[in-house]
């Protein structure tokens, strides 16, 4: 096994987005069922690469992998694309519930996931970031439910891949002021 070391940001980004892009490409080249199978394989590979390179799998990867494999399996087994279209709602709802539970219990759980990337953020900053991301996930769950009920499968795939990705990216950038405002001073030597 390779030495455990943090993944470079580009590799982490690839592990998060390559499975989604593989799903999109497979959908455009074939259909929702081929795309679902490709997505399932790509998620397993992404988790395997993460495990191989870091000797651990993040809780987000575990939840996402389990839900993708479960709902993807139902999609393929039952021949019903509604299961894979429901998957984002379930994932967003789980993430929102976990983050809101953390806030309710006084533990900003987003810190567990992102502390390595932003170690200087103070407790108040983590509380605000956790709240904001929880609200984003609630909004994304609602948006996915509306989209999956109102859009064709082709439109839903475009919404999921490009719309949700763009919203998430813009939202993440909008959190930069919190990161700056709540950065703790580094200890003086």
pLDDT in tens, 126-145: 999 999 999 999 999 999 99
What's the pLDDT score for residue 157?
97
What's the pLDDT score for residue 1?
45
Instruction: Give yes or no for a contact between 64 and 15, defined as CB atoms under 8 angstroms apart.
Output: no
Give yes or no for residue 11 having a pLDDT over 70: yes
Choice between 136 and 179, residue whose per-residue pLDDT is larger? 136
What's the pLDDT score for residue 3?
52
What number is the average pLDDT over the span 42-56? Answer: 92
Residues 87 and 35 in one domain: no
Residues 23 and 113 in one domain: no
How many residues are listed for the chain in this entry?
A: 189
Residues 167 and 183 in one domain: yes
SS3 83: helix
Q: DSSP code of 28?
A: H
What's the pLDDT score for residue 2?
46
Residues 185 and 130 in one domain: yes
Assign 59 a pLDDT band (cuts: 50, 70, 90).
Answer: confident
Residues 87 and 66 in one domain: no
Residues 100 and 159 in one domain: yes
Q: In 3D, which of 140, 141, 148 has the Cα closest to residue 166?
A: 140
What residues make up the domain containing 42? 1-73
Q: Which of 23, 52, 73 is the last residue of a domain?
A: 73
Q: Which of 73, 99, 121 is the last residue of a domain?
A: 73
Give yes or no for residue 34 having a pLDDT over 70: yes
Residues 67 and 135 in one domain: no
Residues 60 and 134 in one domain: no
**pLDDT tens per residue, range 77-115:** 999 999 999 999 999 999 999 999 999 999 888 888 787
Residues 69 and 94 in one domain: no
Assign 55 a pLDDT band (cuts: 50, 70, 90).
Answer: confident
Query: To the nearest whole number, what is the mean pLDDT of the chain?
Result: 91
What number is the average pLDDT over the span 138-156? Answer: 98
Q: How many CB atoms lie within 10 A of CB 23?
A: 26
Choice between 157 and 120, residue whose per-residue pLDDT is larger? 157
SS3 184: coil
Choice between 146 and 63, residue whose per-residue pLDDT is larger? 146
Look at the chain and report how many structural domains it folds into: 2
């Amino acid at each position: 096994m390779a030495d455990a070391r943090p993944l470079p940001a580009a590799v982490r980004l690839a592990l998060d987005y390559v499975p989604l892009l593989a799903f999109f490409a497979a959908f455009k080249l074939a259909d929702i069922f081929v795309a679902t199978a490709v997505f399932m394989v790509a998620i397993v590979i992404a988790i395997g690469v993460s495990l191989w390179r870091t000797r651990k799998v993040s809780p987000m990867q575990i939840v996402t992998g389990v839900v993708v494999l479960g709902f993807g399996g139902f999609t393929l087994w039952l021949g019903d694309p509604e299961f894979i279209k429901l998957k984002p709602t379930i994932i967003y709802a789980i993430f929102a519930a976990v983050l809101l539970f953390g806030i309710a219990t006084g533990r900003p759980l987003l810190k567990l996931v992102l502390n390595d990337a932003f170690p200087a953020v103070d407790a108040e900053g983590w509380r605000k970031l956790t709240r904001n991301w929880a609200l984003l996930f609630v909004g994304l769950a609602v948006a996915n439910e509306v989209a999956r009920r109102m859009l064709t499968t082709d439109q839903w795939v475009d919404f999921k891949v490009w719309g949700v990705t763009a919203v998430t990216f813009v939202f993440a950038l909008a959190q930069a002021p919190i990161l700056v405002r709540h950065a703790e001073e580094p200890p003086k030597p």
